[in-house]
A and B are shown apart, each in its own frame.
Chain A
Amino acid sequence: MELLTTGRPAPAETAPVEPGRPPAARRRLLTEQALIMGAQAAAGLGNLVFALVAVRLLTPEQFASLVAFLAAYLLLHLPAGSLSAGAALDPELAARTRRRVLLLGGGVGVLLALAAVPLSVLFNLPVMMVLALAATAPGAGLLALARGRLYGEGRRLGVATSLLTEPLVRLAAGLAVAAVAGPVAAAVVIVLAGYAALLVATLAADRGPTSLQPTGPSDASGVAAGTAVGAFLLLAVLQTQDVLLANRLLDPEQAAVFAALSTLGGVAVFATATIPLVLLPRAARDTPAALSTAVFTAAAVGAVLVLAVALLPTGVTTAAFGPAYGEVSELAVPYLSAMALLGVVRVVVAGRCAAGAGRGLLLLLLLGAVAQVAGILVLGSSAQAIALVTLAVSVALALLVGLLIALQASQEQRLLPTLAARVRTPVFAAVLGLSALGLLLRLSVTRSLWLDEATSWRQTQLAFDDLLFDLATTDVHPPLWGVLLWLSVRVLGDGELALRLPSILAGTALVPALYVAGRDLFDRRAGLMAAALGAVSPLAVWYGQEARMYALFMLLATLSLWTVVLAVRTGRVRWWVAFIIVTFALLMTQWFAVLPVAVELIAVLILAVRRRRRRAPVRPLLLGAGGAVAGLALLSLPVLPYLTDQLIAYGNRGAGFAAPSQAGAGVGVATGAPELGIYIPMVNLAWAVGGFHNPSIMTLLVSLWPLLLLLMLGLLGRGRDATTSLLLALIAVPPGVLFAVAQFKPDLFELRYFIGVVPILLLLLAQGASSLLSRNGTVAALGVVLVAASVGALYDQQTGGQNPRQYDFREGVSEINAVAEDGDLLLYAPDYLDNVIGYYGPELEARPLADEDLPPADRPGSVFLLQSFDDRSEVTSAVSDARNGLEQQDRELVAEITVSNVTIWEYR
């Protein structure tokens, strides 16, 4: 009433609803997708239940053959299903081509029937199954056309009914038949179920309302339909040929594992199969948001499925498939990821086909299919290998399709010349060069795995749910790194370089991150200087080579600072969202990252107070910051139980670590300083800037602390730049808080726990040098000197035998591996070397020295004693006792080997 009396029109009644208004259109599209997808999901679930029951009813060999039949059935239907894509784009296509499709299907059926015997040998299938497959062929194309027409005309109910018919028939009749008559009879029922679905689809095509107006036939739609048919055909090949090849190449057990895996992957295929078909007619009519909604839906469904399977306890998979299929649970995540990615690719391809721009993608898909076959033929020695080949091909295709579309879009919007011009700039080249230098330095890692890296490796060997349990009960860090490494190991394996590759990549990414942060916080010169320092920074390189979370910590800390500054400066929502994402990842990488994040948020609050004092608008700032805090809190809520578990476990362990603390080992002692005295932060500062060196060098460096007073005096009158103040706070507060806490919990003061200060220090150093540079050209040399000093320190850290953190377990254990024989025993001290011994000497019979007494004197073979951390008296005394004991057993010392921080004695 009020609206009417004030003369303003009532929009809902008077204004026509715009058909293309994004929110309404998106809602409608989502509903449409959800309905069809629900039917498809139900159908998929039905098929899954069918397979899960069949696996119990049949022997592994029978089940493998049934699944291979199903794959071949799918192979026939999916290419035929590509006709659905064509018909969805052009419903008239169904009427025009029905006869030809029937003839073609019949021809294929006849050919299959004629080649039944050789095919049965080739694919290791019973002949009757191949004949059943032949009977499928005439109906497959017709079913696809009928369903395509239903999609094209918007007959959602008809599509849903047809989709549900097939699994209902399979479940109702197929299982009973399988139990009684075996897999061949079940295959016949499967064929009949397909024909039942065809009947339903044909009947539905002439009834019920349509939600889409016909577009009318045109040459363009005919071409697009043809392209869509081709593209969907290739995608179907990509999704199914691996299981056929696996059945041919692998032994029956592995083939059965892959068959089960394929069944699981089929969930993702089925769940997303309808999305592009719903999209096609919409996209052909240029319905706004149709493509983005479809991509979003496919990605979300895929992600949910992958996440669900990842979180599924191992026992569930084993219970579902049986004990013989235990390996399935380990391969489920990567394989399902591959299928989910292909599901997204299919949607994108459909969108491009509908827009008449899908031809370029055909070649790409063809190459992908060929690469998959080649990869499987070369590498497919196990179910795992074939799954990883499919994953690699899927990732590559997703990236290439994305790139191709981005290039096409940029050409359409004339973005390409701008991009090319930007790439050609000297600054871009410099950052690229520095990144390449950073990558090379990080790739040149030669040192052995460190204890913590070996712990990470051990965790990657667990099943996913065991990993989470292990992290929650034996670790002290958030789960992100463990999960990332777990996934990467499944793709890259667990070699030294493979384990370290995620850190190497994160460490390399730090270089451009420092550039953009320096550029946006200060200026381009500071950015370049920071990138140069980051590329060669000894500490950044060291942790960029360690298979732990610290390189990621440094990267995310830099990005968190960068995004919050941009969010505050621009006030744009996208920067706040970026800040939330990056910061959540940071918090999930290291718990103590909460300290720099708190500093950043408090800085925003102080800024708001200052703005308010100046009577400048603060609402957008407070809304952004409030939203960020709320977002972070909301995202962190599900992790609380995990954190609680860790805290309880930490308390139960006696709130300490078995592994040695490295807070300032060796340096404080040399000066007579207490273990956690004020020199320790100084040592950590020296490490942060100059890396790890001989303790005597570090002691000398730390004794130069009066020069820091000079630095503080130099800051007098430097103004009150908010950004610099924030950086100073980020450098001072996290170590300061941890140092204070460490007075009560000494194990908490570790440079690694506040390693986020390293890139911030580099940024400040770069800004300091850069600002001096602007005043006096001669100070340009300062930048060169800083980088040269870093390179020198890096050289000493990486190559000098003076670095106390070089523990050469690899060399030590390989010396044992070279001479050890069956029956030999390795005793090691301290006991926390177990993971590193397990990594380098998995074949050795080894146990900690403290576990039991020495082996009996009459035990044959050699006894190896391995000692490390000889700065610990309990280690040296235990080893000394053991050596005395072995000598009393009249064992002879035949060899003594010393490598970096590791000593080995062989007694025989």
Chain B
Amino acid sequence: MTLVQNAPDSPVRAAPDAVDPRLRPVPWDAADAGRSVRRRMSLLLPLNLLATVWYFGWLLQPDRVGSPVLYGVLVVAELFNLVQVLGFWWTVRAERVRPSPPWDGPPPAVDVLLPTYNESVDVVEPALAAATRLRGGQVDVWLLDDGDRPEMATLAARHGAGYLTRKEHTGAKAGNINAALQHISAPYVLVLDCDHVADPAFLEATLGHFADERMGFVQTPQYYANADRNPVAAAAWSQQALFFGAIARGKDGMDAMFCCGTGVVFRRAALDDVGGFPTASVTEDFQLSLLLHERGWRSAYVPQVLASGLGPEDMSSYASQQLRWSRGCLSAIPATLRARLPWRQKTQYLLSSLYFLSGWTVLIYLTFPMLRILLDLSPVDVDSADEFLLHFAPYFVLALLSVAVAGSGSYTFRAFALQSASCWIHALSTVRTVLRRPGGFVVTSKEGAGTWQPRAVAPALVLIVVLSVVAVYGLVTSPTPGIANAAAFSMLHLSVLSAGAGLALRRSPRLPPRPAEPAHGHD
């Protein structure tokens, strides 16, 4: 309260940064100003294609078949990754950075919805206060409390916001919003997670896109303001940065940007057209986007950080978030396949959904060296020891380079390690999806537990132990170059898994804050 009163125009600039990271300037530029990923990738793509042909041309020869079963599994895994890689290149090559046209006419009415369930007042209050200070529209702020908590009602009243609750708490976040839609009528609806502190210029930067009458929603980046304070949030943010940077700009270039649940402005008519948020999915935003695009509504992505939120601060939260996302996206595959969408949009949705199968490839890859050491089984048959290196290394290095270049260095090793250590989540989600086991909506915790959470990474820890034992066993019993090579692969995997899983084994997982850098998103 004090903060807001002291900073009538810009809570971001006025707040002392030691208090709440969401009130500090944003050091990340979602538009990657001054650099063109399209141009840089144009230089890299021919090399990438050559390396890909070089590797797969070698791998897919009949002479390469070692153990037939393992070879088949390897080829499937490699082809899956190839699809993902090709999709990545295709997406980032299509990048579009939209200008922000001003709203033409008197400021329109906008309902700002902040759904909440169990978050604390400390988390919600800065977001609510910032929402009431939005410019560029006749704003009505609504706090949608699914927890029925009196302190939230008090909070809403204190900030002049509306307070809505409901009798039946069904449909999770989607149900909460749908219930609110019954009580509001503004032509535009801004949905913000209750931890997202909006920039006062949010609406000024987004509403102009609705000049297009078929514009259904305008998405903005999610930004984890606690990324410099917590290693889990930092790694999670690094993954997000790649998506909300090059990938989201590319999806927008193909009119295929989907709604990400927060920091998004909807045209009320579009929401009404599809009957509000779908409540049958745990990724209601993804499903909603699919429906809107299928109904002919368009989407836009504004690569400008207009709201600062909080990422998961512990492994338990991260795991539950990933489980929900993977479960929701994988279950959306049939709907996507059925959807009557242009092929580009459909392929983009499929690529996003299929991404959550990539955990399987990690599990496959780390199995191979163990089988080599224990059973002397190898998926590929090579004439000499350096053949695999010769063909695989260029493909691998250039793929890494592409990610590094496309993400402008935002994608870190820790992000990769966290993703790899979450491979079991993807596998579990796949099983649940196939078995049609229902998935529950679990709100991602905004506040870290600050304790050891070995159970959150237990499968990864088991893998680490097995890999270590097998590698040591191989080196001790048969220190030949072939076994040493397999052991080195094992060490590679266990190092990556350890770096990811290690985040769960830190008792005090807070990093010192970085010195503030000039803001981009809020300026």
Point out the residues of chain B lying under 8 angstroms from A700, CB to CB: 479, 481, 484
Q: A706-B492, A717-B238, A717-B415 are in contact. Are A678 and B386 (CB under 8 A)?
A: yes
Which has the most chain B C-beta neighbours within 10 Å: A706, A709, A713? Answer: A706
Evaluate contact between B389 and A716: CB separation under 8 angstroms: no
Evaluate contact between B384 and A717: CB separation under 8 angstroms: no
Evaluate contact between A713 and B496: CB separation under 8 angstroms: yes
Given the complex of chains A and B, what is the CA–CA distance between A7 and B341 in angstroms? 79
Given the complex of chains A and B, what is the CA–CA distance between A672 and B482 in angstroms? 11
Given the complex of chains A and B, what is the CA–CA distance between A679 and B388 in angstroms? 11
Q: CB within 8 A of A709: which of B396, B411, B484?
A: B396
Evaluate contact between A704 and B410: CB separation under 8 angstroms: no
Q: CB within 8 A of A671: which of B385, B413, B416?
A: B385
In the complex, the chain A residue whose C-beta lies closest to that of B410 is A717
Point out the residues of chain B lying under 8 angstroms from A706, CB to CB: 485, 488-489, 491-492
Q: A700-B484, A712-B397, A716-B400 are in contact. Are A678 and B411 (CB under 8 A)?
A: no
Interface residues of B in 380-423 (CB under 8 A from A): 383-386, 389-390, 393, 396-397, 400, 403-404, 407, 409-416
Binary interface encoding of chain B residues 470-502 relative to chain A, with 1 for a CB under 8 A from any of its CBs, else 0: 000000000101101100110110011000000
Point out the residues of chain B lying under 8 angstroms from A714, CB to CB: 413
- Indicate if A22 sits at the interface (CB-CB under 8 A): no
In the complex, the chain B residue whose C-beta lies closest to that of A671 is B385
Q: A671-B481, A704-B485, A705-B488 are in contact. Are A710 and B400 (CB under 8 A)?
A: no
Q: CB within 8 A of B496: which of A674, A710, A719?
A: A710
Evaluate contact between A713 and B484: CB separation under 8 angstroms: no
In the complex, the chain A residue whose C-beta lies closest to that of B390 is A678
Point out the residues of chain A lying under 8 angstroms from B413, CB to CB: 713-717
In the complex, the chain B residue whose C-beta lies closest to that of A705 is B389
In the complex, the chain B residue whose C-beta lies closest to that of A674 is B384
Evaluate contact between A710 and B389: CB separation under 8 angstroms: no
Q: A705-B488, A717-B411 are in contact. Are A678 and B393 (CB under 8 A)?
A: yes
- Indicate if A720 sits at the interface (CB-CB under 8 A): yes
Give the Cβ gap from A683 to chain B, nearest Cβ, in Å. 10
Evaluate contact between A673 and B386: CB separation under 8 angstroms: yes
Given the complex of chains A and B, what is the CA–CA distance between A51 and B232 in angstroms? 89
Q: A705-B389, A716-B400 are in contact. Are A670 and B485 (CB under 8 A)?
A: no
Interface residues of A in 674-733 (CB under 8 A from B): 674, 677-679, 682, 699-700, 702-707, 709-710, 712-720
Evaluate contact between A677 and B386: CB separation under 8 angstroms: yes
Give the Cβ gap from A862 to chain B, nearest Cβ, in Å. 45
- Indicate if B515 sits at the interface (CB-CB under 8 A): no
Given the complex of chains A and B, what is the CA–CA distance between A704 and B491 in angstroms? 10
Q: CB within 8 A of A716: which of B34, B385, B404, B488?
A: B404
Interface residues of B in 10-46 (CB under 8 A from A): 34
In the complex, the chain B residue whose C-beta lies closest to that of A710 is B492
Evaluate contact between A672 and B384: CB separation under 8 angstroms: yes
Given the complex of chains A and B, what is the CA–CA distance between A704 and B483 in angstroms? 10
- Indicate if A613 sits at the interface (CB-CB under 8 A): yes
Evaluate contact between A703 and B397: CB separation under 8 angstroms: no
Given the complex of chains A and B, what is the CA–CA distance between A410 and B482 in angstroms? 64
Which has the most chain B C-beta neighbours within 10 Å: A613, A700, A713, A714? Answer: A713
Evaluate contact between B484 and A703: CB separation under 8 angstroms: yes
In the complex, the chain A residue whose C-beta lies closest to that of B397 is A712
Given the complex of chains A and B, what is the CA–CA distance between A712 and B393 in angstroms? 11
* Interface size band for B: 20 to 34
In the complex, the chain B residue whose C-beta lies closest to that of A706 is B488
Point out the residues of chain B lying under 8 angstroms from A673, CB to CB: 384-386
Q: A677-B390, A716-B411, A717-B413 are in contact. Are A704 and B496 (CB under 8 A)?
A: no
In the complex, the chain B residue whose C-beta lies closest to that of A614 is B34
Given the complex of chains A and B, what is the CA–CA distance between A718 and B400 in angstroms? 13
Which has the most chain B C-beta neighbours within 10 Å: A704, A707, A716? Answer: A716
Which has the most chain A C-beta neighbours within 10 Å: B396, B481, B482, B489? Answer: B481
Given the complex of chains A and B, what is the CA–CA distance between A678 and B392 in angstroms? 11
Evaluate contact between B488 and A707: CB separation under 8 angstroms: yes
Point out the residues of chain A lying under 8 angstroms from B415, CB to CB: 716-717
Point out the residues of chain B lying under 8 angstroms from A705, CB to CB: 389, 485, 488
Point out the residues of chain B lying under 8 angstroms from A719, CB to CB: 409
Which has the most chain B C-beta neighbours within 10 Å: A707, A710, A718? Answer: A710
Give the Cβ gap from B381 to chain A, nearest Cβ, in Å. 13
Given the complex of chains A and B, what is the CA–CA distance between A716 and B496 in angstroms? 13
Q: A703-B485, A705-B488 are in contact. Are A716 and B384 (CB under 8 A)?
A: no
Give the Cβ gap from A236 to chain B, nearest Cβ, in Å. 70
Evaluate contact between A717 and B393: CB separation under 8 angstroms: no
Evaluate contact between B410 and A712: CB separation under 8 angstroms: no
Interface residues of B in 143-168 (CB under 8 A from A): none
Q: CB within 8 A of B409: which of A678, A703, A712, A717?
A: A717
Given the complex of chains A and B, what is the CA–CA distance between A612 and B484 in angstroms? 49
Give the Cβ gap from B267 to chain A, nearest Cβ, in Å. 37
In the complex, the chain B residue whose C-beta lies closest to that of A678 is B390
Given the complex of chains A and B, what is the CA–CA distance between A700 and B407 in angstroms? 36
In the complex, the chain A residue whose C-beta lies closest to that of B404 is A716
Q: A673-B386, A677-B386 are in contact. Are A712 and B400 (CB under 8 A)?
A: yes
Q: A671-B384, A674-B384 are in contact. Are A710 and B411 (CB under 8 A)?
A: no
Give the Cβ gap from A795 to chain B, nearest Cβ, in Å. 21
Point out the residues of chain B lying under 8 angstroms from A712, CB to CB: 396-397, 400
In the complex, the chain A residue whose C-beta lies closest to that of B369 is A706
Point out the residues of chain A lying under 8 angstroms from B34, CB to CB: 613
Point out the residues of chain A lying under 8 angstroms from B496, CB to CB: 710, 713
Point out the residues of chain A lying under 8 angstroms from B489, CB to CB: 706
Given the complex of chains A and B, what is the CA–CA distance between A713 and B385 in angstroms? 23
Given the complex of chains A and B, what is the CA–CA distance between A385 and B491 in angstroms? 64
Point out the residues of chain A lying under 8 angstroms from B404, CB to CB: 715-717
Given the complex of chains A and B, what is the CA–CA distance between A337 and B489 in angstroms? 62
Point out the residues of chain A lying under 8 angstroms from B411, CB to CB: 716-717
Give the Cβ gap from A387 to chain B, nearest Cβ, in Å. 57
In the complex, the chain B residue whose C-beta lies closest to that of A677 is B386
Q: CB within 8 A of A704: which of B238, B397, B484, B495?
A: B484
Point out the residues of chain B lying under 8 angstroms from A670, CB to CB: 481
Give the Cβ gap from A359 to chain B, nearest Cβ, in Å. 60
Point out the residues of chain B lying under 8 angstroms from A713, CB to CB: 400, 413, 416, 496
Evaluate contact between A703 and B400: CB separation under 8 angstroms: no
In the complex, the chain B residue whose C-beta lies closest to that of A670 is B481
Evaluate contact between B485 and A672: CB separation under 8 angstroms: no
Give the Cβ gap from A440 to chain B, nearest Cβ, in Å. 35
Given the complex of chains A and B, what is the CA–CA distance between A715 and B413 in angstroms? 7
Point out the residues of chain A lying under 8 angstroms from B390, CB to CB: 677-678
Given the complex of chains A and B, what is the CA–CA distance between A707 and B491 in angstroms? 7
Binary interface encoding of chain B residues 456-482 relative to chain A, with 1 for a CB under 8 A from any of its CBs, else 0: 000000000000000000000001011
Given the complex of chains A and B, what is the CA–CA distance between A700 and B483 in angstroms? 9
Given the complex of chains A and B, what is the CA–CA distance between A705 and B411 in angstroms? 24
Point out the residues of chain A lying under 8 angstroms from B488, CB to CB: 703-707
Point out the residues of chain A lying under 8 angstroms from B383, CB to CB: 672
Q: CB within 8 A of A703: which of B238, B403, B482?
A: B482
Point out the residues of chain B lying under 8 angstroms from A674, CB to CB: 384, 386
Given the complex of chains A and B, what is the CA–CA distance between A700 and B414 in angstroms? 29
Point out the residues of chain B lying under 8 angstroms from A707, CB to CB: 488, 491-492
A-B interface, 8 closest residue pairs, ranked by CB to CB distance from nearest: A717-B412, A671-B385, A703-B481, A679-B386, A678-B390, A706-B488, A672-B384, A703-B485
14 contacts between A and B (CB under 8 A): A671-B481, A672-B383, A672-B385, A673-B384, A678-B393, A703-B484, A706-B485, A706-B491, A707-B491, A707-B492, A712-B397, A713-B400, A717-B409, A717-B411
14 further interface pairs, Cβ-Cβ under 8 Å (given A682-B386, A715-B413):
A673-B386, A704-B484, A704-B485, A704-B488, A705-B485, A707-B488, A707-B492, A713-B413, A713-B496, A716-B415, A716-B416, A717-B404, A717-B413, A718-B412
Which A residues have a C-beta under 8 Å from some C-beta of B? Answer: 613, 668, 670-674, 677-679, 682, 699-700, 702-707, 709-710, 712-720
Which B residues have a C-beta under 8 Å from some C-beta of A? Answer: 34, 238, 383-386, 389-390, 393, 396-397, 400, 403-404, 407, 409-416, 479, 481-482, 484-485, 488-489, 491-492, 495-496
